[in-house]
Structure 1
Amino acid sequence: MTELSGGPSLPQERRIVTAIPGPKSQELLARKTAAVAAGVGTVMPVFAARAGGGVIEDVDGNSLIDFGSGIAVTSVGASAEAVVRRATAQLADFTHTCFMVTPYEGYVAVCEELAALTPGDHPKKSALFNSGAEAVENAVKIARAYTKRQAVVVFDHGYHGRTNLTMALTAKNMPYKHGFGPFAPEVYRVPVAYAYRWPTGPDHCAEEAAAQAIDMITKQVGPDNVAAIIIEPVLGEGGFIEPAPGFLPRIAAFAKDNGIVFVADEIQSGFCRTGQWFASEHENLVPDLITTAKGIAGGLPLAAVTGRAEIMDAAHAGGLGGTYGGNPVACAAALGAIQTMRDLDLNAKAQRIEQIMKTRLTALQDKYDIIGDLRGRGAMIAIELVKSGTKNPNPEATAAVAKACHAAGLLVLTCGTYGNVLRFLPPLVIGEELLNEGLDVLEEAFGQL
């Protein structure tokens, strides 16, 4: 099957013509080492030349199957026709004026789309930013302005960004927080319903985790002091954890009952990634605020906070914004990406990807007992690797499988609080033959363990 979106000149095939990385990538890697700060790491040291559909072509001519989408960014492909066309047209008109100086229609149009697409039929407004961390940080500002409260509640295994405040919101120390403190105050962390690792098992996980979280908030913080509760409907960097069914509605109800702004961080899970426009929809959640980024603009930097109009309007004039927030080229790209999602029904495509991947991965789990858990929704799927016969995390096997996949031309990513989760984020436009070939490579990598 050929790609559903992107440049037709890019063959949708896995093609290995050199070792990975090849000589040109190795030359560029040496230049990177000399010129780029060491703290900027690289998952797979191959330098991209072209990308589209379900493949990335490197500077040595290797064509790699993409199970990463630039960390859930290029859901419509890395060169989607509507994204390229609209962004190119906008580039020719103007690249920047700053929306806070002389506004432009594209920003408004993106906010209108967000109001239409996000859950709930209440009046909504948005503000646009550059990155997911900026969106989360501004959601906190908005919630504090609206409630006149300070405390923020987040969850174990959660990830929300790399700025000072969002590092405080993030659970995992390495590599996100280590050595970078002190962090912003008035942040409180409570348990999440991680069914696979819940001490009493999955059956009562949602009920017990919600009760523990609410008890901790009530005793340690006080609901009247809480401005916002922030959670990813599918926890991303923490391991693609789906909170046990019933947990999120219980937490949302507690927030509503206590005048707390309920914020869904949909930065990784939004825009058709889980088979719905937003992962909140799987449990009929209607968040007060939703933060988005990643998949919103087909690879261009854009982020948003969208929510109830009365909450969004709580910040004073001039209190929200930024020089580049809602850049006109990024807004044009976002309108092209959303058009592509609609035209190609990428929610249905994500559901089909889930069906294929879970069927193949279930068979793999039956064969290899180090696959402790298979989870996820849509094209946001993960397997958690453990030591045989236990639930002890197995980051060594995880790294070995990822390395074998990379050498064979399949880009996969790892994640998880314990570094033992393989996560799969293929572009939603990937062809089924290419998807299955990537799963073949994965299976071969397990066979090499």
Structure 2
Amino acid sequence: MNKKIIMVALTLLATTMTGCSSSSSNATPTPATDNTSTPVTAPADSTDTNTTNAEQKVVAWCWDQAFNGQALKIAEELYQKEHPGFTLEIIDLSKTDLEQKLTTNLASGITDSLPDIILVNDSNAAKYITSYPNTFADLTNAVDYSNFASYKVESVTEDSKIYGIPFDVGVTGMFYRTDYLEEAGFTPSDLENITWDRYIEIGQQIKEKTGKYMCTVNPNDEAITSIMLQSAGSWYITPDNKGNFIDNPAMTETMRVYRELASSGIAKPVTGWSEFVNSFNNGDVATVVSGVWQIATIMDGEGQSGKWGVAPIPRLDIEGGTNASNEGGSSWFVLDQAANKDVATDFLASTFGNSTAFYESFLAQCGGVCSYLPAYESDVFAEEAEFFGGQPIYSLFAKWLPEVPSISLGMYTQEAKDALKNELPNILNGADIDKSLETVQSLFSLQVQ
């Protein structure tokens, strides 16, 4: 998936890379940061890592060497300019293996084999922080968190303490086929800031006039329901980890819209990732509502360059409903008992936490989109993408990023999703939504007792 993003990013950068360092200085920083590799506020107990040439080795665990691992390498190279004695050992694990090794070590209390730095999926952050107190370093004063998307900061915050440096994001958009839209008599402006009900109406006309589906539906994948919920500032569970299925207008409306999508005839049924991807790479659907990271996969569609555009996602037609949401993302954590805790903290703070130059390189080499807001002021992120009809797609996602509602993911998101999946077939088959959600609430409560 990352290869195509790299290709388009390199294309976007063709006219700007020669001035890469100057584009960093063109960004308009907030008063608290100068967008260099020097952290805003060093940890109170930090050693002087800016002047010493002594060897300083930090170990980091992550998954996906082409994306997360490469981001670490970019950061290492940048940090070494001011810290020539610094080296970073990157341990590549699958996401499943990383989480299993971390959980096993923390549960046993044997933490000697854990790294200094570890990548944590945002949806799991609260569970680790709460279940294993005093495991992760308090990074509240490591960087200026006002420079990050607020919903990302919320995901790594517990009891007013911040434990992670926010990294990549999954800010969502509605990718659409401009040729199908035009054939059905619509223009791109007809997709701007619409409700889901209007989306369905447009989908019905596209299906009638072009024979193409508007989207896909997969009852075993909760991605679209998660996007809908967060767009209204809601989630499957409450901040105190209780089920959030009843007396929740956002949940009720999400289920109504999801059932309408499935029953309206505009959604192509799929049963897995491959079928989902094939649906748009083969030209079967007119839109894809997904995270920004979906760009690379969309670009795998042969002969489709110039035929795609992107608009804000539809919103739930309720109070608090917005046209912005998120799908996926992760953050960097430092182990509190790590041998090189101070150096690891300074490394993350100076690069991931405070460097536009880092994020310019990250976009160019990995297609990575960040939660560090000052980076988007760089000219690099404003370049037009030929594949998307000349739209400045990264500028658009940057515009929507601060609009994503902040939510508490809590400790039991997966358990809540599993409970919903158990009842979702009944909802899709016409069961009373309120009664079905009461059933889901009871099932969830039994699971987490």
TM-score (norm 1): 0.27
More helix by share: 2
Tell which has more relative contact order, 1 or 2 (C-alpha 8 A, sep 6+). 2
